Amino acid sequence: MDESGGSGGPQSDGTEGLRQKDPQNPKDAHGATGSPEPTRPADTDTDTTTHTTHEPEHPRHSETGTSLTKTPREEPPAGPPRPPGPPRGKGTPVPPKAQKGPGGGLLMGKPFGVPVYVAPSWFLVAALITWVFGGQLDRVLPELGGARYLVSLFFAVAFYASVLVHELAHTVAALRFKLPVRRIQLQFFGGVSEIEKESETPGREFVLAFVGPLLSLVLAGIFYAGMQAVDPGTVPGVLLAGLMISNLIVAAFNLLPGLPLDGGRMLRAVVWKITGKPMSGTVAAAWVGRALAISVLIGLPLLNQSGALGGEPEDIGGMNTVTDALLAAILAAIIWTGAGNSLRMARLREHLPELRARTLTRRAVPVESDTPLSEALRRANDAGARALVVVDADGDPMAVVREAAIVSVPQHRRPWVGVGGLAQDITEGMRISAELAGEELLDTLRATPATEYLVVEESGEIYGVLSAADVERAFVKAMARPS
């Protein structure tokens, strides 16, 4: 994507204009420079702000733009490939595509205005905890009989309530730093706070990551204090002991210095502070996370077999060995994938500023709604423009002529078809500033999905038309560049 236009796009050379194609010319008839109907722009999470300039100028043509006068195809073309979505997790933007529906499972409430969802996978792990903890209760409190599974189920719910407190600590800190939180989700291996913005400073990043494990340690202390008031051989004593140990494990595991864990984000903040570069912190913490994943894959089964984690030493082999290996493999995969996603997210943040509305906007010509399509295309071709804007008698923009609608009109029908019937009315969200760029641009497009948008200057004068397909192609091109 060429960004050399700055705040003033150069004149077009006219080679990509809206030209009347000759149906007798095979190249024209097949629309060699054409493309399928635009789709939604590449997804990522963003803010919306508007900046202005003094005087409207002609926008630059997008390198991968389409010609509005290509002839219709016999078969509907496939849409352009979508870029890979960013990962979900604490401190990472969330793809707008994932935000279309409530999603996330069962809504449990909205503490601090943030929805809390329980994923379907939680019920699987709750059943697993109930079964495992029930077996332990059978050895410690055999008199419970079948009731031990009710106690175990209560433990599973209480444990995930502790996980929710851990995530709420991240959420409250994020809201305190004015970082929007999309939701909290309790799932198979714990919880995720989906914070939609990155911290502005390494200090805030460190605090945001540390408060979760800190609250888990505080909960462990509270449960330990509760143990002092009850008999350890009773149900309350066993439950409090289990919750204390569980919260200590949650805190210790999350403090491991590798992404995507909280300790990895703390390491990222430290490296960011030392180097002054967020990307350097991400790279360091992500590679430590990958090393951690390998260590978990190999070390966790060995530690369990040796009895170092509190159990009895066991010989290698049997169902316990298989279970330990499977658990280690799942944990390692989660950590490895999260570390890789963090690297991809950092690269996305590096390239997002390359997306600028001013440099991606197509030059447009104003036409009245009763103007025949063939005449409108002739005017656009003469002006070297590649978009049409319907205006009223006073010259105020009313609608944007849809590229897909133009393509669908056969050549011989264009002199009798008015552009007003091919246009989409301009809503407030479809009128965007020429100064939008990066995350702000993508968030604006995500808030009002459309195929084309009217781009204006501060004075309200028409700057041009922005195609969502051009933004998506520019996004894919930017992401393909090496960091």
Percentage of residues of the chain with pLDDT beyond 70: 75
Single-letter code of the amino acid located at 465: V
Question: For the segment 372-422, what is each residue's pLDDT rounded down to a tens digit?
Answer: 999 999 999 999 999 999 999 888 999 999 999 999 999 999 999 999 999
- Residue 156: the pLDDT is 94
Residue 336, token pair as written in the block: 């490895």
The CA dihedral of 129, 133, 135, 136, to the nearest 10 degrees, is 150
pLDDT at 11: 36
Residue 54 one-letter amino acid: H
Query: Under DSSP, is residue 309 helix (H, G, I), strand (E, B) or coil?
Result: coil
Determine the pLDDT at residue 78. Answer: 36
Angle at 77 between CA 71 and CA 82, to 5 degrees: 130
Of the candidate ranges 56-65, 96-105, 187-196, 233-242, the one whose mean pLDDT is the lowest:
56-65
Tokens of 307: 């009895």
For 78-135, give the DSSP string: PPPPPPPPPPPSTT----GGGGSS--SSEEEE-GGG--EEE-HHHHHHHHHHHHHHHH
Residues written for the chain: 483
Q: Where are the alpha helices (DSSP H) in 255-385?
A: 262-275, 278-306, 319-351, 357-360, 373-383
Distance CA 97, CA 89 (A): 15
Average model confidence (pLDDT) across the chain: 79
* Cα dihedral sign, 336-340-345-350: positive
Q: Which residues make Cβ contacts (< 8 Å) with residue 131, sequence separation at least 6?
A: 149, 152
Q: What is the pLDDT of residue 44?
A: 38
Strand partners, 387: 364
- Residue where the block lists tokens 């939680």: 122
Residues 329-361: tens digit of each pLDDT: 988 998 999 898 888 888 777 778 878 999 999
Residue 388 tokens, joined: 């049409």
pLDDT at 170 over 90: yes
DSSP string of 33-77, one letter each residue: T--PPP-PPPP----------SS--PPPPPTT---TTPPPPSSPP
Closest CA relative to residue 73, chosen from 30, 10, 116: 30
d(CA 258, CA 264): 4
For tokens 């502005």, name the residue. Answer: 200
- pLDDT surpasses 50 at 467: yes
Please report where in the chains the tokens 């890789």 appear, as a residue: 340
Q: Which residues of 233-272 are buried (b: 16+ CB within 10 A; e: fewer)?
A: eebebbbbbbbbebbbebbebbbbbbbbbbbbbbbbbbbb
Nearest Cα to Cα of residue 364 among 475, 469, 461, 470: 461
Looking at residue 303, its pLDDT comes to 81
Kindly report whether the global pTM for this prediction surpasses the value 0.85. no
Express as a percent the part of the chain with pLDDT over 90.
54
Pairing of strands 106-109, 116-118: antiparallel
Q: Which amino acid makes up residue 172?
A: V
Statement: residue 91 has pLDDT above 70: no
Distance of CA 384 to the CA centre of its chain: 37
Determine the pLDDT at residue 348. Answer: 78
CA dist., res. 187 & res. 410, Å (int): 53
Q: Has residue 310 got a pLDDT over 70?
A: no
Are the CB atoms for 19 and 67 separated by under 8 Å?
A: yes
Q: Which residue has the tokens 């279970």?
A: 323
**8 Å CB contact between 163 and 119:** no
**CA 134, 120, 189, 297 torsion-angle sign:** positive
Over range 248-260, report the average pLDDT: 94
As a whole number, mean pLDDT of residues 254-267 equals: 95
Tokens of residue 241, six digits: 């002991």
Q: Is the pLDDT of residue 107 over 90?
A: yes
Quickly state the pLDDT bin for 194 (edges 50, 70, 90).
very high
- Looking at residue 104, its pLDDT comes to 61
Q: Which residues does 370 contact at the CB level (< 8 Å), separation at least 6? A: 418, 420
Helices (H), 88-194: 120-140, 148-176
242 has pLDDT over 90: yes
Instruction: Give the three-state DSSP class for 107.
Output: strand
The pLDDT of residue 320 is above 80: no
